[in-house]
Structure 1
Amino acid sequence: MPNPKDLTALQLPTGSSLVADETENRLSLSLESQALINLRLTRETELRLQVEERFGLSGSQAFWAAGYWLFARDPACQRLIWQLDETPTEALLSGLLVPADTAGCYRCERTLFWQLPQPWLGDSLTGCYPQQMVISGGKRHPRRPPKPSCEVYRRFDSRLGAWISLRTVDIDEDLVRFNRWQNSPRVASFWQEQGSLEEHRKYLGKRQDDPHTLTLIGCFDDQPFAYFEAYWAKEDRIAPFYDADDYDRGIHMLVGEESHRGPHKVASWLSALVHYLFLDDPRTRRVVAEPRADNAKMIGHLQRQGFYCEKEFDFPHKRAALMALGRERFFERCSLT
């Protein structure tokens, strides 16, 4: 895997390249060959940044680019201290920067930076859907927004040197690969959804028609490798087994392509999936999963990404482990690059 600290450029979902020339005391950033900002760096307990020269883009765009470069290059970096002559009003309003204790100083916090939805959500960003409580299936829950039909998330993983993206399922395009994945003995041992093409078309169609479930295809460099289901926990069968919040999301996960298995790939796609769900609605405070209680490998992958086992419980079809990850814990500990 590439070492993020060896990179000289980072790709953005817009197709642009953020290019850097970094030394111990200087950082110069450019976007598609256009100079963006020159910074002086002071590497103390916390990394301090002073603007030497700023070019075409707005202050917020330049501050964001510097944050992305420095946080992606060093997953252990938790905050940046900006020393600025002028109040960065736009950056303060968005949460990109927050005031520090010293006049003229502002903090860029890793935990806040990765909660900013753009550019990771792209055109799928719809804002915070208004709340109206409804009852369906005997359960009271918020009315859910219309489901997207597009790519919903894209980010360059600098540790893998590859794009990780999520798009909604297209049944006609994805049916054959979904059928192949479900009929793999490895997948079938956990999902138990072996079947014909027609049976799997009905399976996907049922979930597509279900307003509480979003079906997704995971891609590395635009090559499909996995199928995910993201569901609103309040309306799901899991709701009676824990105190489900109105905006909790749950996940079901299936890696179909053998070439994309392994802990380093799981770390990339699982963090991307959780990141997307927390960005999709800022009211989501928890993501849950319910793997089979004896699926030690999957439980281990989840724990390495910050999930904890709240308890074991019995579904009609399996003994399950309730794995949960809170919003605060994810953004405090996430190692997104």
Structure 2
Amino acid sequence: MSNLNDLSILPLPTGPVLNADESDNRLTLTLEGQPLLHLRLERGETLHLHLLAPQQVPAARAVWAACYWLFARQPECQQLTWHLAHAPDDALRSGLLLATGVAGQFLCERTLFWQLPQPWLSQPLSGSYPQQMVISTGKRHPVRAPKPRGEVYRRFDARLGAWVSLRTLEVEVDLARFNRWQNSTRVANFWQESGSLEQHREYLGKLDADPHSLTLIGCFDDEPFAYFEAYWAKEDRIAPFYDAGDYDRGIHMLVGEEHHRGPHKVASWLSALVHYLFLDDPRTQRVVAEPRADNARMISYMQNQCFHCEKEFDFPHKRAALMILGRERFFERCGLA
């Protein structure tokens, strides 16, 4: 794992690398070798940021880059106080900066920063999709946007020192590894989906045709290591067991590659998966899961990422723990770096 104190660069999903030269009271940022921002840092109960050229109007992307650097460098930092003669309008309109009652003073809140969808999302928000309620299989729910294809999320995990990304599953590309993962003794014990290539082709085909489910492959540094199913809870079998919201999302999780197991890896991919689902549609207020009630290790990992166990309940095939993570709780305690 990387030491955040040694952090000097942050790659961005769009390609360029953010470089920083930081001392106790100075921060200089460059992007693709070009100067981006020069700041004086005033440290105290909160971190105050002053431009070295006070009358400068920084570009919104420069303000974003400085906030990203400082929040990634200091995961415990919850708020940045900017001192600007003029704040960029785009930063105020997006929520990156908040005006205060003090002239020339603006705030950036961690809980708001990580809700900004770009550059983490690789595709447009489905949250712009209009709402229309329909009834299918006896359940009333919103019409869902068409499923994305390809990569949907990418972020450099500064703690891990690796890219974490999510892409949609492609049957012809991923069938063999999905089959291998499902037939491992460890995975089969919890998923109970071992079978042949043709059985798994049929399994994945049904999910692909189901508008309420999205199949994803998790990657570290572009190496596939995990399979995830994200589903709209309102149309799912879980809905009768709690008060499911119209835009609640649920998750099923499978780590297939043994060398990518461990609590530090779970902390990275689970937070990325939840982050993606909350960004994908800003109307999503909760992410839920229903691991087997005796899967103490996974339940513990989820609790470490701020999920709480609402209750245990019985599916026809298993005793399950209802794990819930609310949007407000996730972003208020956001440990992304």
When normalised by structure 1's length, the TM-score is 0.98
**Contact 2:24/2:41 (<8 A) preserved:** yes
What are the ranges of 5 or more consecutive residues in structure 2 without an aligned counterpart?
A: none
**Contact 1:124/1:151 (<8 A) preserved:** no
Instruction: Tell me how far apart the structure 1 counterparts of residues 125 and 220 of structure 2 sit (CA, whole Å).
Output: 21
- State the Cα deviation string for residues 6-54 of structure 1 (Å, max 9, x = none): 1110000011100000001100000010100000100011000011249
2:306 is equivalent to residue 295 of structure 1: no
**Contact 1:11/1:17 (<8 A) preserved:** yes
SS at match of 1:335: coil
SS at match of 1:245: coil
**Contact 1:4/1:73 (<8 A) preserved:** yes
**Count of aligned residue pairs for this structure pair:** 337
Residue in 2 aligned with 1:3?
Answer: 3
- State the Cα deviation string for residues 202-223 of structure 1 (Å, max 9, x = none): 0000000000000000000000
Instruction: Tell me how far apart the structure 2 counterparts of residues 102 and 45 of structure 1 sit (CA, whole Å).
Output: 18
Residue in 2 aligned with 1:310?
Answer: 310
Residue in 2 aligned with 1:145?
Answer: 145
Q: Structure 1 residue 126: deviation in Å?
A: 4.5
Q: Structure 1 residue 104: deviation in Å?
A: 1.0
- State the Cα deviation string for residues 94-121 of structure 1 (Å, max 9, x = none): 0001112322100000000000000000
SS at match of 2:92: helix
Q: Structure 1 residue 87: deviation in Å?
A: 3.7
Q: What does residue range 70-219 of structure 1 map to in structure 2 within 5 Å?
A: 70-219=70-219
Q: Which moved more, 1:14-23 or 1:80-89?
A: 80-89
Q: Give percent identity, aligned residues only.
A: 72
Amino acid at match of 1:59: A
Instruction: Tell me how far apart the structure 1 counterparts of residues 154 and 107 of structure 2 sit (CA, whole Å).
Output: 26
Amino acid at match of 2:175: L
Residue in 2 aligned with 1:238?
Answer: 238
**Contact 1:36/1:57 (<8 A) preserved:** no
Q: Which moved more, 1:243-252 or 1:117-126?
A: 117-126
- State the Cα deviation string for residues 213-259 of structure 1 (Å, max 9, x = none): 00000000000000000000000000000000000000000000000
Instruction: Tell me how far apart the structure 1 counterparts of residues 57 and 173 of structure 2 sit (CA, whole Å).
Output: 40
**Contact 1:124/1:150 (<8 A) preserved:** no
SS at match of 1:123: coil
**Contact 2:310/2:324 (<8 A) preserved:** yes
When normalised by structure 2's length, the TM-score is 0.98
Amino acid at match of 1:316: P
- Cα 1:111–1:244 change in 2 (3 A) is same
- Cα 1:236–1:57 change in 2 (3 A) is farther
What are the ranges of 5 or more consecutive residues in structure 1 without an aligned counterpart?
A: none
